[in-house]
Every structure is written in C-alpha cells, then in structure tokens.
Copies of this chain bind each other. A is one copy, B any other.
Amino acid sequence: MLNLDFHPSGRHFLQIPGPSPVPDRILRAMSLPTIDHRGPEFGALGREILGKIQQIFKTQNPVIIYPASGTGAWEAALSNTLSPGDRVLMFETGHFASLWHKMAQRLQLEPEFLGLPGYEGWRHGVQADMIEARLKKDTAHEIKAVCVVHNETSTGVTSDIAAVRRAIDAVDHPALLLVDTISGLASADYRHDEWGVDVTISGSQKGLMLPPGISFNAVSDKAIEASCHNRMPKSFWAWDEILEANKNGYWPYTPSTNLLYGLNESLDMLLEEGLDNVLARHQRWAAGVRTAVEAWGLEIQCQDPTVYSPVLTGVVVPEGVDADEIRKIIYERFDLSLGMGLGKAKGKMFRIGHLGDCNDLTLIATLGGCEAGMKLAGVELKESGVCAALEYFANHPLKRAR
C-alpha cells in the first residue's frame, strides 16, 4: 500500500505558484458530511456561495462554477462563445498562454498567436498596442475574441487587462475579451466589470486556497448573448442550464459538494480579511521576495517592473546552471517544492509562489531554502537574500484597510 504520508519531520513547504497550501480551516470545512445536492440545505449553500463569489471577481454578473479543474474553464469560455472556424486573437505571454492557444486549435477555432519575438514574450506582459494594431486591420470583424492571460503562472507577469480593453475599444472592435486569471484571482487585483471583461476564467487551487477541482467562468451579458447563438457542440460546459438551476442555488448535475464547502469557507476568510487587504498582503510579499532576488544579484524573469506578479516570482539562474538541478537539491535537502521552468523556460529559471496561506516567516523559510540550495549547487550569490527580505518585511509592516 502506498504511503501518502511520506514527508519527513515537519511540514513540507509547498511554494509552487499553485496548487497552494490549503489552510486547515478549509480542510476542516471540506470534511463536513456530503449532503443531498437536491435537498434544501444544498440550495442555501449554493445561493450563499454564488453571492459571495461575485465579490471576488468584482462583478454584478453571474459566476458559473464548474465541478472540473481550471483547464475545463478555459474550454467552457471558448465553447460557450465561439463556433468552429472562428478566428480568435491570443497573446503569447508564456506556457499557459501557449496551452490555451493549443486548446483553441483542438477546438477547431482559428487562433492567431501574437507575441513579442523569441523569448521576449515570456519576460513581458501582454502588449496592448500590438492587439490594437491587429484589430484595427480586422475591418471585417473576423476576429471574434481576444484571449489573454492575466497572471501568467509560468513567468510571473501580471498583464494590464484594462489596457487590453482600451485597445479593443479604441478601434471599436466587437470581439469578446476572454481573460484567464486562474492564478491571479484573490491574489492580484482583478475587476471583471470595471475592465469590461466578457469571460473571466479562474480556478480553485491558487488564491482561493482550495485543492484543485473546481473552476469558474464570470460572464458578461454580451458573452451570455453569444452563448445563445454559437455553434460549438456543448453540454457539460453549457452556461444556460447552469444559470437556470443556479437561480435556486442548485446545479443541473452533481456538483462537487465538499469542494463547495471549502469554497464557502475560503470566501468567508477572504471577505473577513477584506479583499483589498488580501491583495496588499500579496503585493508586500512579492516586494520582499524581489528584494531577495536583487540581493542575490540574480535576474527576475519579468523584465517590466510595472507588471511584476504579486503571486509568484520567476528567478533566472545564471547560464550554465540547470535550474531543475537546483530545485532537486532544494527539494531533497529542505523539503521545499518550487515551480519548475515550463516550456521555453525549462531549466532557465525557477518559480517561487507567494500566494495564499503564507506569511512572512514562511517566505523567509522559502528564501532560506533557495539561498542554501543555490549555494550548494555552486551558484554565486552577491548578498544574502534572506537577510534582505527579512529587513524588507521588518521595515514594511502590513497596513490594514480596516
């Protein structure tokens, strides 16, 4: 029988950019007894959650909750709004933007993949001006949707979505704006309504601090309108039946009851703390971690300080060193999991997650593991990043909005 309790003494440090560590409070909620998903208590639970989740997306519109992991919500966004053969404009910001592009192809859409040349796109955010230029040329309005990733988990870049909206509006283009903020929600500032997003895609296992397994589509009226006419075969992902059943707090098919218990608890935690406080907490952590990377004399993957991610930081290792080798040493010696370089970034960098159920000392521990592990791997570091971050945290106490 497989031993699932394999970790050595003490807690494993899971500092990948998601799944993030699940707070015990949420684990306890998830262990509540499964109830009849057609019974009266379930309806009350459903209505409660559907109300609270809107506050996290900053929307007055419905948020669809799927009993499926985040990749499913990507598919849901595409299959509810588009038809086979439709042209969509996507922007390469990293590995996840690339995967979404691949999905669009598999769904028989005609995606066009904009991006900065070479590896540059993986070190910067979405370039709204490039989108504007491309849409301007599309006078026939063949492009039905613009798809961008808000917080690119593979690089640590949080793109400016409001700028993308302005770019679309600047040329009066009717394309829908679909945004993936799977790893950004509840950690990075996000405003579905204010930014005019048509479909926002998110998942449970990042800022919401849940295990993976449920995912989201926040939708605009325009998106719902599109879903009434599009021709992509769809059933499980179809919004119409879910929206109908959600009116009473139910789902048309069996929902993930225990994950919904966890979601309800997560929403209570976030709203009790205040979403703005949550966001400020992540910004402060990110600043502390970047202070460490700078002290080490290493490069941050994101080269544009205006779009540094508050959720994760990509650390570029010196040429000639394999970042995965460093990660392996850190894992084996310090029981610390870091994110690997994905796709084009493989071996070139590692990713430190600073999201969810963390605190200053968790991050000090994490930076300590990174620092010691890099030294053991022979990386020359300028100064102690742990000390720099410690000083940063000490000198920048967290301010609370209430």
Contacts and interface: CB of A to CB of B under 8 A. Distances in A.
Contacts of A382: none
A287 interface: no
A29 B14 contact: no
Interface in A222-257: 232-236, 238, 253-257
Q: Which of A70, A236, A393 gathers most chain B CB within 10 Å?
A: A236
A70 B365 CA distance: 33
Given A9-B359, A361-B365, A394-B375, A31 B36 contact: no
A9 B400 CA distance: 13
Contact of A33 (B11, B108, B368): B11
This protein's copies in its complex: 4
A112 interface: no
A128 B39 CA distance: 36
B233 A108 contact: yes
Nearest to A206: B254
A384 B20 CA distance: 30
Contacts of A365: 361-362, 364-365, 368
A390 B361 contact: no
Nearest to A4: B32
Interface size class of A (residues with CB under 8 A): 35 or more
B386 A372 contact: no
Given A364-B386, A387-B386, A44 B11 contact: no
A94 interface: no
A137 to B, nearest CB: 27
Contacts of A11: 11, 33, 357, 359, 362
Interface in A211-229: 211-214
Given A34-B212, A384-B386, 19 more contacts: A2-B44, A2-B45, A2-B48, A10-B357, A10-B362, A14-B35, A20-B34, A21-B34, A24-B33, A37-B212, A67-B212, A68-B69, A69-B253, A107-B233, A361-B369, A364-B369, A365-B365, A376-B394, A387-B387
Interface of A: 1-2, 4-14, 16, 18-22, 24-25, 27-39, 41, 44-45, 48, 66-72, 74-75, 79, 84, 99, 102-103, 106-108, 203, 205, 211-214, 232-236, 238, 253-259, 261, 264, 268, 273, 281, 331, 333-337, 340, 356-362, 364-366, 368-369, 371-372, 375-376, 384, 386-387, 390-391, 393-394, 397
